[in-house]
């Protein structure tokens, strides 16, 4: 695997983790949102990841067996979960139903914070991989002096 492929793989990981972090932030920000444009309470969002070969053109495909294993990651879609809302009895709330219950999103803020920490660590790992790749390129250039 060459240095550019390594950078491409790390960059794809950074982009995917950024999208996941945006989703988690949205979940935390809307943990108490009872009314959305779609109607009903906010629904928790999750990001689905996928992978694809780290190749751009036909010449890259013919390059060799080591590069066959190289995969980039990408966020394939953002999915709204099917968790049922949490009903709380608040008869004076403007979004209360005829029985006085308000539907709140089923979002566990502690779970979201744990997901955020995991995503942050993954993002940092990709940044470190990019920095190591950059250092290897610099050392390779110094050998040629």
> Hey, where are the domains in the chain?
3-143
Alpha-helical runs (H) found in 2-108? 3-29, 58-61
CA 84 to chain CA centroid, Å, is 23
With contact defined as beta carbons under 8 Å apart, do 3 and 102 qualify? no
The structure's pTM equals: 0.81
Specify the pairing of strand 45-53 against strand 71-80. antiparallel
- Summarize the confidence of residues 126-144 as an average pLDDT: 91
Write out pLDDT tens, residues 24-67. 999 999 999 999 988 889 999 999 998 877 665 556 555 554 45
Contact 44/107 with Cβ under 8 angstroms? yes
Residue 44, number of CB atoms within 10 A of its CB: 22
């Amino acid at each position: 695997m060459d240095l550019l492929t390594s950078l491409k793989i790390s960059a794809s990981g950074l982009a995917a983790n950024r999208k996941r972090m945006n989703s988690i932030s949205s979940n935390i920000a809307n943990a108490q949102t009872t009314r959305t444009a779609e109607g009903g309470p906010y629904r928790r969002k999750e990001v689905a990841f996928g992978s694809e070969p780290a190749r751009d053109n036909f010449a890259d495909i013919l390059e060799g067996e080591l590069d066959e294993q190289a995969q980039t990651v990408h966020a394939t879609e953002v999915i709204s979960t099917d968790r049922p809302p949490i009903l709380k009895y608040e008869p004076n709330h403007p979004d209360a139903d005829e029985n006085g219950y308000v539907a709140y999103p089923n979002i566990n803020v502690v779970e979201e914070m744990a997901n955020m920490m995991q995503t942050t660590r993954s993002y940092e790992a990709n940044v470190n991989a990019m920095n190591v790749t950059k250092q290897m390129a610099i050392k390779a250039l110094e050998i040629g002096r």
